[in-house]
Amino acid sequence: MEQFTLSYKTSPRLQEGHPPQLCGVVASGNLEVLVEPLDSADLCLIEVNTSAPGFRLIWEAVLSDFVERNRVAGVRISINDAGATPAVVGLRLDQALDAYRSAV
């Protein structure tokens, strides 16, 4: 397993009060994404725990693209990954964030 945390300074802050949301399943070639509120209003914090070590640069590219596309702060995103492809990671992140935004 390889673990790292990336922190992105971004805005605007997502409206508060959403309950945490979990998307996806930890299965071969798949991942789960947990989205929760974060106290720091100007940060998007992403923690990655992956079974495929050595791909940090690719993760950084996928995650910064995700942050660029969505521009949300005040969220903490935690990932348990079992070797998903970048496409699957991007898709799951979008799904999880959508679920979080619409959850009441």
Partner 1 sequence: MKNVKPASFFESSARVRVAKLVDAGSFKEFCPPQLRRTSPHLARLNAPVAFDDGVAVGSATLAGHKILIAAQEGKFNGGAVGEVHGAKLAGLLDRGVRELPRAVLLLIDSGGVRLHEANAGLIAISEVMRAVLRCQEAGVPVLALVGGACGAFGGMGIVTRLCNEIIMSEEGRLGLSGPEVIETVQGVEEFDSRDRPLVWRVTGGKVRRALGEATYLVDDDICSFRSVTAELLCRYQTKPLAPVDIDEISAEHARLTERTKRFATARDGREIFQASGFVDLDEVSLLPVAKFNQQLLESL
**If binding is defined by CB under 8 A, does position 78 make contact with partner 1?**
yes
Interaction mask 55-74, partner 1, x per CB under 8 A: --------------------
Residue for token pair 């079974």: 51
Among 55, 70, 82, 90, binds partner 1 (CB under 8 A): 82
Residue 73 to residue 71: CA distance in whole angstroms: 7
Tokens coding 89: 């990671």
**If binding is defined by CB under 8 A, does position 88 make contact with partner 1?**
no
Residue 17 to residue 2: CA distance in whole angstroms: 32
Residue 49 to residue 33: CA distance in whole angstroms: 11
**If binding is defined by CB under 8 A, does position 48 make contact with partner 1?**
no
Interface positions with partner 1 (CB under 8 A): 1, 20, 22, 25-27, 30, 32, 34, 36, 49, 51, 78, 80-82
